[in-house]
Amino acid sequence: MTFSKLIKPTVLAAAVMSVFSVNAETIAITNANVYTADEQGIIENASVIIEDGKIKAVNPATVEADKVIDAQGKILTPGFIGSMNQLGLVEVSAVSRSRDSSEKKADITFDASAAFNPRSTAIAYTRKGGITSNVVVPRGGDDMFKGQAFVADLSGDFNSVFSTGNAVIVDLGAKSKGSRATELTKLHNKLADAQKALDKKAEKKSDKDKKSDKEPKRSEKVINKLLSGEMPLIAYVDRATDILALIKLKEKFGLDLVVSGAGDAVLVAEQLVEAKVPVIMGAVSNLPSSFDSLHASLDNAGKLANAGVDLVFTVRGDTHNLYQLRFDAGVAIAHGMPKEQALSAITANVAEVFNINAGVIAPGKRADLVLWSGDPFELSSKVEKMWIEGVQHTTDSRHDALRDRYTTSSDMPRAYTK
């Protein structure tokens, strides 16, 4: 029996019409202080129009919508974007069967998006931090290439993953066994060999020769995308000398390079700005985690931002702490980072690095928006309303359900409810 036969035609038609009506509904958020995270800056007492999951207009002269929401002067920001974590791939870190982020034989082609669990309990909890989408990266395996990043929204829907192949992740720097020079040389040689093969192919002039070319391997296709700048290369490094070595590779091969970790980035801020290399970092790294990051400090984010480096903030440690991303940004602000740049570090800059059509409040962008009770970087503020691709979502999580269960009066023994 087919699915269509299990449901009466009138019920099925009504369900389809309901979905279309929700998507077709135009929403206006009025009287908001809109933090656009782009060149428009903050627009006071403004309106934002949402239609078909995207932002249709920002502060139009007239407001026409099916539904109007009065923000009452509160702050409206783009939905925050998490990055460089395993949200949806790891449920309980200590339980191996709930971990899908690594594979011993993983290489540059490793795409873990097929294992993403949109119903992970950590996702609803993460929404409490105003995070509406996230860049997930695998931990990979023994190879220096750990795999490819993908992007998912935090709606909890089964079609949450909306972009794959957003970056290649490579782990360099200090090694427990062996020398960092080996991995840097190996990366250089892989790029050089791939470039040589492309140059040789380009030299072939006859159609006959071109037709005789073998289909590149999957790994070769990915390397070629790095060389063309189609995919960014995210490199985990901390030491200043490693960062400089990567900048040389960028210049030689035309890479779209992004440095992650970057504990000693403050020592080479000028070179990073000149080479136009963004930095992904934890804003609250105030103590060295290794001999490669002896210059870790709470004011590093402010120093780098004021020097002109484009920053992306990530939460270091367990993926389940991702909700505190805005608090980390607040710490950076308290230690000298301009507020506008801190906002960009969890919105616009993330979208720019990973090629996501979100992160700013502008026409044509995904309608991922958050309305706040107060300053989003203050501990006391909370999410009042959240839209993911134009659909309003709750911030209720398993934590709330457990709280309600164990604080509700009942005739059952303590810790139980009816």
Mean pLDDT of each 10-residue bin along the chain, 418 residues long: 41 43 80 97 98 97 95 98 97 93 96 97 96 97 96 97 98 92 96 94 67 81 97 97 98 98 97 98 90 94 98 90 96 97 98 98 98 97 98 92 80 63
pLDDT at 7: 41
Give the chain's radius of gyration (CA, Å).
24
pLDDT at 208: 58
pLDDT at 255: 98
pLDDT at 406: 79
Distance CA 177, CA 195 (A): 30
**How many Cα neighbours within 13 Å face the side chain of 15?**
7
**Among 150, 146, 194, which residue's Cα sits nearest to residue 172?**
146
**Six token digits for residue 43:** 């627009």
**Six token digits for residue 222:** 């990915």
Q: How many H-runs (helices) and E-runs (strands) does the chain carry?
A: 13, 16
Distance CA 181, CA 183 (A): 6
pLDDT in tens, 288-302: 889 999 999 999 999
Residues 6+ apart with CB under 8 A from 81: 131, 132, 133, 134, 135, 346, 347, 350, 351, 356, 358, 359
pLDDT at 3: 35
Residues 6+ apart with CB under 8 A from 235: 170, 171, 172, 246, 257, 258, 259, 260
Residues 6+ apart with CB under 8 A from 65: 26, 27, 28, 49
